[in-house]
Amino acid sequence: MHTSRYMCYAGRGEPEYYTGKSNPVFVWSRDVNSAVSLKVSPIREQYFLHESVTLSCEGNAAESRVMVIRLTGRGYRSSCYTWGNMTGSTCTIKRLQYRDAVYWCVTESGKLSNGVNITILVKPKPFLSVFPPWLSPGASVTLSCEVEHPSAGWRFYWYKAVPDLSDNYSTYRYELLPGSTNGTAEDFYIIHGETQTSQYRCRAGRGEPVYHTHYSEPKFVWSGALDDSLIIPLFTGVFTGILLVVLLLPLLYFIKSKDLCGNRRTRSQDTNQDQQLNKEDTQEGVYCSLGEGDDCLYESACGAEDRRNAYDPESSCNYDDVVDPLSITDP
C-alpha cells in the first residue's frame, strides 16, 4: 500500500445539496519500493534545532518533476520552495525550525511517496563535571561531558580558559585541549600532572558540517599549590607592606606627640589669660584713699566698668549708696 490522501464530503435532498470537502487525511506508508520514495540524510533518531537535513525523492517513476511537501502539526502544508532549497529531486534544509512535521514527495501525476516524521528538539547544552574538584599538585583530573541524548553519535570537544594577552590579562579565552581538535569519541578526558587552578568547558558535535551543541557551564579544578609565577610577587607585596608600617609608626607617633604639646600650650595660655583678667578685676575694685577725690569713691563703690556707665540712666550701679565725703563725721 502506498501513501494516500483521503477527503470526504456529504450531500442530501433532491436535487442533492453538497457540503464542502473535509480537510485531507493522510495514510502514510513505509514502503520504499513504490513509484517514488523519500529518503532522509543523515538518518537520526533525534534531530535538533538548526541542524541541516537533506530530503531526496527517489523511485521508479519516469516523471522528472517531483516536489517535497511538508505538513506541520497545525495542518499547514507547503512545498520545499518556501523553507528549503529544491534542486532537482533533492530538498536541502540548512536550518531545521522548531516544529514537528511530516515530509513526503509528490510526482507531477500526483503519486505520493512514503511519509517521514521529523521531530525537532531544542539545541542541547551538555553538563561538565570534574573529579576531583580539589587535587594535589601533579595529580590527574578527569573531565566528563554529559549530553541529554547520548545515543545521537556525538563527538566531544574540551576547552581550557587562558588569559587573553591582547587584553592585558583582563579577560579569558578558551583553547582546545590537545587531541580534541576533531573531537573525541569518549565523553571523558583525563588531564595528567595538573599543577594549578584551572577552568574548563566542553561541548559536543556531530555531522558534516559539524553541528555543535551549546557550551557547558565552566567548571574549576582547584589546586592547593601556589603558582610559581605568583610566589615572588606575593612575598614582595607582604614585605613591602610590613616595611611601610615600620616606617610610618615613628611619623604617626611624632604627629601625635606634637598635637599633645600644642594642646598643653593652649591650655596654659588660656589659664594665664584668665588669671590676668581676674587680677585686673580685683585691682579695679580696690578702695582708694579719700584724698584722691570723689571719683575714686564712685570707682570704689561701682567698679571701673560701672563708672564708665555713670551717666547711663540704665546703669545698674546705685549711686544713692555712695557716701558723701562731707557727711562723714568723726565718731
CB 218 within 8 A of CB 130: no
Backbone angles phi, psi at 234, to 5 degrees: -65, -50
What is the rounded distance in angstroms from the CA atom of residue 190 to the CA atom of residue 143? 6
Tell me the C-alpha to C-alpha distance, in Å, between residue 84 and each of 105, 173, 190: 14, 36, 42
DSSP string computed for 28-87: ----SSSSSEEEEES--S-EETT--EEEEEESS---S-EEEEEEETTS-EEEHHHHSEEE
- Which residue carries 564708665 as its cell? 308
Pairing verdict, β 90-93 and 85-87: antiparallel
Residue-level pLDDT at 169: 61
What is the rounded distance in angstroms from the CA atom of residue 115 to the CA atom of residue 39? 9
- Delimit the domains of the chain by residue range: 4-121, 127-225, 231-283, 285-331
What is the rounded distance in angstroms from the CA atom of residue 121 to the CA atom of residue 84? 19
Of 154, 115, 99, nearest to 32 (Cα)?
115
Pairing verdict, β 17-18 and 11-12: antiparallel
Please state, as a whole number, how many other Cβ atoms lie within 10 Å of the Cβ of residue 138. 11
Domains 4-121 and 127-225 share a fold: yes
Backbone angles phi, psi at 274, to 5 degrees: -65, -45
What is the rounded distance in angstroms from the CA atom of residue 305 to the CA atom of residue 289? 19
What is the rounded distance in angstroms from the CA atom of residue 105 to the CA atom of residue 188? 42
Query: What Rg do the C-alpha atoms of the chain give, in angstroms?
Result: 52
Residue-level pLDDT at 327: 47
Q: What is the pTM of this model?
A: 0.56
Residue-level pLDDT at 187: 94
Class of residue 53 by CB neighbours under 10 A (exposed 0-12, middle 13-18, buried 19+): buried
Please calculate the CA angle 84-86-92 and round it to the nearest 5 degrees: 50
Residue-level pLDDT at 328: 45
Residue-level pLDDT at 261: 57
In the chain (331 residues long), the average pLDDT of successive 10-residue segments reads 74 91 71 75 87 88 74 83 91 86 87 87 93 82 90 90 74 89 94 86 92 94 62 60 80 73 57 55 45 43 46 48 47 43
CATH: 3.40.50.150, 3.40.50.720, 3.40.1170.20, 2.60.40.10. Which one for 4-121?
2.60.40.10
The DSSP 8-state label assigned to residue 112 in this structure reads: B
CATH of domain 127-225: 2.60.40.10
